[in-house]
Amino acid sequence: MFLKFSLRSLFYGAGGGNDIQWCFSQVKGAVDDDVAEADIISTVEFNHSGELLATGDKGGRVVIFQQEQENKIQSHSRGEYNVYSTFQSHEPEFDYLKSLEIEEKINKIRWLPQKNAAQFLLSTNDKTIKLWKISERDKRPEGYNLKEEDGRYRDPTTVTTLRVPVFRPMDLMVEASPRRIFANAHTYHINSISINSDYETYLSADDLRINLWHLEITDRSFNIVDIKPANMEELTEVITAAEFHPNSCNTFVYSSSKGTIRLCDMRASALCDRHSKLFEEPEDPSNRSFFSEIISSISDVKFSHSGRYMMTRDYLSVKIWDLNMENRPVETYQVHEYLRSKLCSLYENDCIFDKFECCWNGSDSVVMTGSYNNFFRMFDRNTKRDITLEASRENNKPRTVLKPRKVCASGKRKKDEISVDSLDFNKKILHTAWHPKENIIAVATTNNLYIFQDKVN
């Protein structure tokens, strides 16, 4: 009940000025302006409890942060996230048959629900998916009969007495080991992975196909969607994102570059080329332009935790769809409508092809997505209020309250407003994540990870 009240109060305070405010908590990553390509963050994901936060980067590394436990007892402060484990998930490869370099960049990370002391996650680059086990070790065996303490083997003939090996305490060590490698199933670049609610299977999607895998079987997968035409010249759309329903293990959706979302039921047929539902909003003729098809392409699709709604992100907006209504979204939020007049220059510098992600808060009452100039946006579904915040090192003192930012599209600029012409399009927030149970968010800006939380009095 308190959580619900807290989230409801996120933007709506008693007098409008008493809103619960977001404040700076931490920033991870180097301060240098000269950013190495390998350090650019490419995905961010909380685990199911929110205790662990994983990031992947273009260098193929996965960094996992763990929330400190001791501060959880104090009501006014929550535990900070500190590095728990870092490992190289993927290496650059070369496909000799196609003369193609395969980047090590991590496209997506998905956590499996915890079943025992170890944690498991899936990570993928353009071609290969890996299942990683992250486990702790704080004891080591001593007193071998056939081995010295340094690991060298003894001559068995010199062993005159037998002893029982014992476990001795040691400094905590976190080990990441690859348990399964799922390879050679995608001709095109993988853009999505999603774990099924049965926790035994998962899907992986590339531009033209979606495959269904069993977590225990690496040598085969089942193709469940194939939109590749016989003649590639007839290709009109590609798959941009795919996700399983959070509760119904037979249902999944995939979005396309044409702005449509197809909901499929695996009970209907083995190959889900025929969708059960097609979600599409008719285009407003007054907004028709050369860029219409590009900006209508969906870059992310996410089911709500309840499974009743899904959220899609296109270039300029976030839309909330009710699964029972296909003809139009129930809610539409403009993320940066002021860029509509700048589409020509955004096309020339390729920014129009940026793929922004979106996320829900724990109770599905607020949605969040990124923008340019290191801005990110939140939309409260209950009060219909929205806010623009900035991830900046200028506000990097702990507990510093973030000031809402406003962009001036045209006309006279007010004191605290930022002109649309002065926005930095090289600074962009593509990847965001929201703690599943608390008001803690993670926001990736190029090579830095910002963590913010709501101000608790």
Residue 4 lies in a domain: no
Range 159-185 average pLDDT: 87
Asked if the model's pLDDT at residue 5 lies above 60, the reply is: no
- For 289, residues 6+ apart whose C-beta sits below 8 A from its C-beta are 343
pTM, entire model: 0.88
Contact assessment for residue 432 and residue 44, using Cβ atoms and an 8 Å cutoff: yes
User: Is 116 strand, coil or helix?
Assistant: coil
Residue 138 lies in a domain: no
Range 109-137 average pLDDT: 94
pLDDT at 19: 61
How many other CB atoms are there within 10 angstroms of residue 390's CB atom?
Answer: 21
pLDDT digits (tens, 9 = 90+) for 359-384: 999 999 999 999 999 999 999 999 99
Residue 194 lies in a domain: yes
The first and second tokens of residue 363, run together, are 């109770």
Asked if the model's pLDDT at residue 252 lies above 60, the reply is: yes
Q: Band the pLDDT of 77: cuts 50, 70, 90.
A: low
Asked if the model's pLDDT at residue 7 lies above 80, the reply is: no
Residue 187 lies in a domain: yes
pLDDT digits (tens, 9 = 90+) for 86-101: 999 999 988 888 888 9
pLDDT at 21: 86
User: Is 408 strand, coil or helix?
Assistant: strand
Q: Cα–Cα distance between 127 and 124 in angstroms, integer?
A: 7
User: Is 73 strand, coil or helix?
Assistant: helix
Asked if the model's pLDDT at residue 12 lies above 90, the reply is: no
Which residue range is the domain that position 333 belongs to? 24-133+179-454
Range 63-75 average pLDDT: 73
Residue 5 lies in a domain: no
pLDDT digits (tens, 9 = 90+) for 183-203: 989 999 999 999 999 999 999
CA distances from 86 to 51, 61, 319, 401 (A): 16, 7, 35, 31
The proportion of the chain whose per-residue pLDDT surpasses 90, expressed as a percent, equals 68
Tokens 């090289």 belong to 426
Q: Cα–Cα distance between 325 and 303 in angstroms, integer?
A: 15
Q: Band the pLDDT of 16: cuts 50, 70, 90.
A: very low
pLDDT at 256: 96
User: Is 428 strand, coil or helix?
Assistant: strand
User: How many domains does the chain contain in total?
Assistant: 1
pLDDT at 113: 94
CATH of the domain at 352: 2.130.10.10
Strands 93-95 and 81-88: unpaired
pLDDT at 10: 44
DSSP character at residue 372: B
pLDDT at 411: 67
The first and second tokens of residue 7, run together, are 């989230």
pLDDT at 134: 95
Asked if the model's pLDDT at residue 151 lies above 90, the reply is: no
Q: Band the pLDDT of 20: cuts 50, 70, 90.
A: low
pLDDT at 136: 86
Residue 165 lies in a domain: no
pLDDT digits (tens, 9 = 90+) for 388-442: 999 988 877 888 888 889 988 776 777 778 888 889 999 999 999 999 999 999 9
For all residues of the chain together, what is the average pLDDT? 89
Q: What angle do CA 264, 266, 271 make, to 5 degrees?
A: 85
Residue 93 lies in a domain: yes
DSSP character at residue 14: S
pLDDT digits (tens, 9 = 90+) for 266-313: 999 989 989 999 999 988 887 788 898 999 999 999 999 999 999 999
Of residues 369, 358, 292, the one with CA closest to residue 335: 369
pLDDT at 100: 86
Asked if the model's pLDDT at residue 78 lies above 90, the reply is: no
Report the greatest alpha carbon distance in the chain: 92
In DSSP notation, 310-366 reads EEEE-SSEEEEEETT--SS-SEEEES-GGGGGGHHHHHHTTGGG----EEE-TTSSE
Residue 143 lies in a domain: no
Of residues 54, 112, 111, the one with CA closest to residue 83: 54
User: Is 285 strand, coil or helix?
Assistant: helix
Phi, psi at residue 222, to the nearest 5°?
-110, 130
pLDDT at 149: 74
Q: Cα–Cα distance between 377 and 381 in angstroms, integer?
A: 13
Of residues 210, 203, 139, 201, the one with CA closest to residue 169: 139
